[in-house]
Amino acid sequence: MQGTHDAEQSARGVGIVRCVYGPRARSDLGRALAGAFLAGPWNEHAMVRRAGATLQPRPRWLRDIARSVVEAYARPPADRPRELARFVAARIEALSSRDPYPQPPHVRHWIIPEPAMGKLRWPVPRLASLADLAAFVELSHGQLEWLADAWSLERTVADERLRNYRYHWLPRAGGAVRVIERPKRRLKEIQRKLLHDLLCLVPAHPAAHGFVRGRSARTHAAQHVGSTVVLRLDLEDFFASIEARRVFGILRTCGYPEGVAHALTALMTNVVPAREWAALPRPTQDLRAISAHHALGRRRRSGARRLGHGRRFPDRSGLRTHHGAQLQALPRDEPAGTNQALPLQF
């Protein structure tokens, strides 16, 4: 860990020594202290005792850090140690000027706390640690790391034997060539297990009909029968627009700790080699797409209230209305009252 010693002179020429820790030092101290804080009773005295045994020498600002953490977190955030580490690092940056030593304290040993599930919003499997996840998908720790490929090493590998996906191109009439990502057999089995045993337990938006059990294109179309106007929206590059961070956010909302949510996200997403272009979903991506676009349904709701009602089918949305005031959207050569679908590409 590196720190810098910043000496400033006052107007009278008296040296004022101030300790400023570098970003790497603050990050390491934040992770070390977060682990120590989470490894036992959640009170200021016990946290200071554990953290003091972790650092050498013991910094003056340690008790202030522990007090700030207890005030910010009423309960130990065992499901989000990374968030806690960033909070501690930010407080260290603000308080390190009180330390008379020019260098940051040394981390004597690292304490690895026991992770825990966060608040469960849905009846998903309890996977509090990477060991639990590995057992759930019947993999060793090494196999889990290889198939998840959290560092996106596949994008730099030319030999297909070292990849978890196969790629081929699919021509599209009047559009760009689509790159198909095909997970290899073992990864595909794991993705299907995650789909059926985890993602299916996360409820889709009531307006979603595509890739939802018990709903279909027929149930979607039935919602619009008898409508005066049906407006169809085709979302361009819908599946490819869903970023890994949105998937991570959904899994965190399920209650999974940061490490488990990160590994699950890596199993469900992929970064293809630079020369390829991905557009189609993998087995788990259909329901992920519906969940990630739950916010889109909330934004559409305000428009649906004005027009009538709305429904979604994967990468398409439909709005219907019975109000004649909205019929100016019809082409001018069509008589009012005609049930006309208006496809829009954007």
Q: What is the pLDDT of residues 153-166, one digit of tens each?
A: 888 887 888 899 99
Question: Region 63-76: what's the mean pLDDT?
Answer: 97
pLDDT of residue 37: 98
Instruction: Considering only residues 122 and 175, tell me which one the structure prediction assigns the higher pLDDT.
Output: 122
Q: How many domains does the chain have?
A: 2
Same domain? For 58 and 150 the reply is: no
Q: Is the pLDDT of residue 82 over 80?
A: yes
Q: Which of 11-20, 176-185, 223-232 has the lowest average pLDDT?
A: 11-20
Predicted confidence band at 96 (pLDDT cuts at 50, 70, 90)? confident
pLDDT of residue 113: 92
Which alpha helices (DSSP H) does the chain contain, by range? 23-38, 44-54, 62-72, 81-95, 130-136, 141-148, 185-197, 217-222, 244-253, 258-268, 285-292, 294-307
Give 121: exposed, middle or buried? Use CB within 10 Å, 0-12, 13-18, 19+: exposed
Task: State residue 208 phi and psi, 5-degree precision.
Answer: -80, 135
Q: What is the pLDDT of residues 258-279, one digit of tens each?
A: 999 999 999 999 887 776 654 4
Same domain? For 140 and 276 the reply is: yes
Same domain? For 243 and 185 the reply is: yes
Residue range(s) defining the domain that contains residue 21: 3-107
Same domain? For 101 and 136 the reply is: no
Same domain? For 201 and 56 the reply is: no
Q: Quote the CA–CA distance of 283 and 138 in Å, as a whole number.
A: 18
pLDDT of residue 328: 41
- Does residue 345 belong to any structural domain of this protein? no
Token readout for 90 is 């930010």
Same domain? For 180 and 48 the reply is: no
Average pLDDT of every residue of the chain:
79
Instruction: Considering only residues 306 and 264, tell me which one the structure prediction assigns the higher pLDDT.
Output: 264
Q: Is the pLDDT of residue 102 over 70?
A: no
- Does residue 153 belong to any structural domain of this protein? yes
Token readout for 192 is 């299907």
- Does residue 340 belong to any structural domain of this protein? no
